[in-house]
Amino acid sequence: MAVLGGVTKRMRLCLIFPKSTFLEDPMVFPPLGLWWLWSVLERAGHEVCFIDMSEHDLKPKDIPRGFDAYLVSGTSPQGREIRKLGLEFRRRGVPAVLGGPHATNYPRNSRKYYPLVVRREGEQAVLKAVSHIERGMPLEFLSDEDLAGSRNGDREAAERYQQGIIEEPFVADLGSVPIPNRSYADHYRYYLADEKGEKRRGTTMFTSRGCPKRCDFCDSPNLWSRVVRNTPMPKLVDELRQIRELGFDAVQFYDDILPINPRRVRELCGHLQAFGFIWRCFCRVDIISKHGGKEYLKFMHDHGLREVLIGAESGSQKILDNIHKETTVEQNATVLEWCDEVGIRCKLSFIIGLPGETYETLEETRRFLRQHLIQANRRIQHKVDLCSYIPMAGTPIYKAVMRQRGDGADVDEEFDSYGYHPGENFSDFDLQWNVDAALMDNFFYEPEVMDEGVQPDEVFYKGRMGAVRAIVSTSSLGQEELQRARDEMEAEVRAAGISY
């Protein structure tokens, strides 16, 4: 709240999650990031409304009027929808703020459509953005000339760009962040199957932020840092109680690596069991192998763990080494076997088209799928997700290739300070993509630059066979060959009755 002439001003703010056109059912997982901000803003005394554009298939013009400001947060697959919202608010002449992963990774083009852009964590930055609006400070958009100038050393253009960028230090004490406002959680449909196959209704939660690993295709450290920050256990217990009282009895944890700290996990498991939750998490096979292997998995299963998502990425050790995954193909197979024996469902995620992909590495992935999933005699029906690699800003692969090509090197946005290994160069990454490097930042906002009319949601689409489009190539394989290989693998996996 602001104090103007002795009068306290309470702002009416609308939080907006853009439409997810790339998903068959977008109303499964809620946008927790916005719900954290919901709590932060309400604690600051503001009136807050929340809208998920997918729920009623809303168009930007359908958004209610009468708010003092609109706050949008989304991911890059929602880029076109983010752009449409920005244009609508500019047309109305109302303040709008953009945050979230897309704003973090593509801040320059975001400034073309939003006068204020919040990068990385938003709990502190959103209050600064709202204060900026309250005080009537200038709200300027970048022109195409400003965008070009801010990249090419024009000091005035760079200053105009920076005036609309808000970035605060990472929150050191996650105990200071209020529990997300989940009053809208019952509008989402996430279910987790228990040991009898019965679906139990769940919602999502974080217990920590940050990932210490260095996978070259991942932008998580750019969003959260490589330092793992834990929410204090008493705060987690309060949050679990909130979730239980809302009627949920399953939890999807979104921590990058929930099992990374066994002592903390054992304490958390006691609380999960006390509340009667079953749960799902992301994990890494090297972490499981390091901290007790099958016995560690069994302990978590005994305390409600029913499904894990494992980033296997490839059946080729060469590819895993190329991307600094720091795991082995053997570990992927072993942990899958352990999970099957213990009773935990595995969803293995593979990425086709990573740096150095060849006919041989693709065949290794195909053999892994056949040997360990398609033709294996498993107690549990495990899952497989086959993705086409998308070069995302905020990742070492993207940065290294852009540097080599002499485009997109925004030196003021280097992220080595967030834990990336410095000195990567193009020789480390045998990869190209069919979008001109100078236009890569425009990709999600300007779909017309794509070759052959490929649209952004097509390269992210999940669910419908044949809808995914590859945009990368290697020295051995072209875009069409990579796409065909992915489609063939998916057809074989689905024919075996394995879902995604």
Say if residue 316 is in the same domain as residue 402: yes
Q: Are residues 340 and 433 in the same domain?
A: yes
- The reply to whether 348 falls in a domain is yes
pLDDT at 462: 61
DSSP for residue 462 = B
* Residue 116 is assigned to a structural domain of this protein: yes
Report the mean per-residue pLDDT for the chain. 89
pTM for this one?
0.92
CB 165 within 8 A of CB 111: yes
CATH number, domain of 296, equals 3.80.30.20
Residues 383 and 430 in one domain: yes
Q: What is the mean pLDDT of residues 389-401?
A: 85
Q: Is residue 183 part of a domain?
A: no
* Contact status, residue 408 vs residue 236, Cβ threshold 8 Å: no
Let me know if residue 179 belongs to a domain.
no
**Does 447 score more than 70 pLDDT?**
no
Decide if 173 is inside a domain: no
Question: How many structural domains is the chain composed of?
Answer: 2
> Do residues 377 and 288 both lie within one domain?
yes
Cβ neighbour number for residue 127 with a 10 Å cutoff = 18
User: Which CATH number fits the domain that encloses residue 82?
Assistant: 3.40.50.280
Give the domain-ending residue among 133, 166, 199. 166
Its domain, for residue 53, covers 2-166
Residues 250 and 210 in one domain: yes
Q: What is the pLDDT of residues 21-35, one digit of tens each?
A: 888 899 999 999 999
Backbone angles phi, psi at 112, to 5 degrees: -70, -25
Q: Indicate whether 233 and 107 sit together in one domain.
A: no
Q: Is residue 363 part of a domain?
A: yes
- Among 132, 166, 200, give the residue marking a domain's end: 166
For the chain, the 3-state helix, strand and coil shares in percent, each to the nearest 5, are 45, 15, 40
Cα distances (Å, whole numbers) of residue 339 to 8, 159, 351, 375: 57, 53, 21, 17
Q: 435 in a domain, yes or no?
A: yes
My answer on whether 162 and 196 are in the same domain is no
pLDDT at 408 over 90: no
**Is 176 inside any structural domain?**
no
Locate 321 and state its tokens.
């080494």
More confident residue, 292 or 416: 292
Q: Are residues 142 and 109 in the same domain?
A: yes
pLDDT digits (tens, 9 = 90+) for 453-468: 556 666 666 656 667 7
Q: How confident is the model at residue 469 (pLDDT cuts 50, 70, 90)?
A: confident
Same domain membership, residue 99 and residue 211: no
How many CA atoms are closer than 13 Å to the CA of 233, on its beta-carbon side? 10
**Residue 399, H or E segment:** helix 396-405
Share of the chain above pLDDT 70, in %: 87
- Here the tokens at position 16 are 């907006």
Tell me: do 285 and 317 sit in the same domain. yes
Domain shared by 234 and 151, yes or no: no
Q: Are residues 262 and 368 in the same domain?
A: yes
Write down which residue in 166, 199, 228 finishes a domain: 166
